[in-house]
Structure 1
Amino acid sequence: MDDIFLINLKQHVLASDRIADLLSSLTERQAAKSESTDRRLLTLQREVGDTEDRLKRLYRSIKDGIVELDDILRERTATLKSERERAKAALDRARAQCGTVAAIANGAPLRIKLRTLTPLKSQYNFSGAHDCLTSPA
C-alpha cells in the first residue's frame, strides 16, 4: 500500500515538469522580494547618511561660531540624534531579515531527497541567494 502511494505521489504530485514550474515561480517571487529588499536597504542607508550629514553640518556651524548653542539647537540636535538611531536600528533589522531570507533561499529548510528530483538540481542554481548591502551606495 505504501509503495502504491509513493509511486502515485512521484508520478503525479512530484512530476518533473510540475516541480520545475513550482521552482520557477519561487525563483521569480524571490527575485521580486530581493529587489524590494535592495530598495529598502538603500533607502535606509541614505536616510542614515543624510541624518549624519545634517548632524555634522550642525556641529560644524557650532564649532565655527555661525550659530550659538541654545535650547532650540539642543532640541534639534537631540531630534537628529534620535532620527539617526532610529534609522540605524531599522537598517540593522532589515539586514538581519535579509540574512534570514538568504538562508531560506539557499534551501536550508528544504531537505527533500527523492531520486526523481536529482536531475532537477542541476537546472536550478540556489547559490545566488540575495546578498544584503553592507556599505552605502
Structure 2
Amino acid sequence: MRGMLMLQAAGAKISLNVYEIRTRLSADVRDPAHIVFDAAVAVVVAVRETTGAVDLMTKSVVDRIQQDAASEIESMIADAVRVVQRDIGKDALGLGEALKHNHHRAWEKVKNDWDQGKHLLSACEVRPHATVTIRMNGTVDQTERE
C-alpha cells in the first residue's frame, strides 16, 4: 500500500487505500518560454471506509467515486505544482530531468534559465490528468441493523 486518500464523493465521506500509482509525463516544447507538461497519473485504490449510505455494488456509484477521486488527485497535483513554482522555485518535481531525458535539444536551450536566471520553471504549465480504478476486495455488508 502506498497511502490513503480521503474525500467527499457520491454523497459520503470515503477513505481509499492507494495501492499503485503510475505516472507518465509528456511535454510540448515548441515554445521554450512556456513549456507545457501533461502528467498522466493512473491510480489503483480500494475502498477502506465510507460514512453514509453508499452502495458500492452499483456501477454508477463506483464510477462517481472514481471520477471524484480523480478530480481530487488532479487538484492535489495542481496545488503541489503551484507551491513548487511560486514558493520553492526549485525543480522538486523533476520536470527538468524529464526534459533532459526526453527532449534533450529543448533542455539544452533552457537548462541555464530553468530554476535560475529567467526561471522558466515558473512559466511552464503542468496539466494533470488522473484516472482512478477501484479494486474491489473484502466484504460489503449490506445488512440493516437496528
Is the shorter-chain TM-score for this pair beyond 0.5, marking a shared fold?
no
More strand by share: 2
Structure-2-length-normalised TM-score: 0.29
Structure-1-length-normalised TM-score: 0.31
For the pair shown, the structure with the greater C-alpha radius of gyration is 1
Greater RCO, CA 8 A, separation 6+: 1
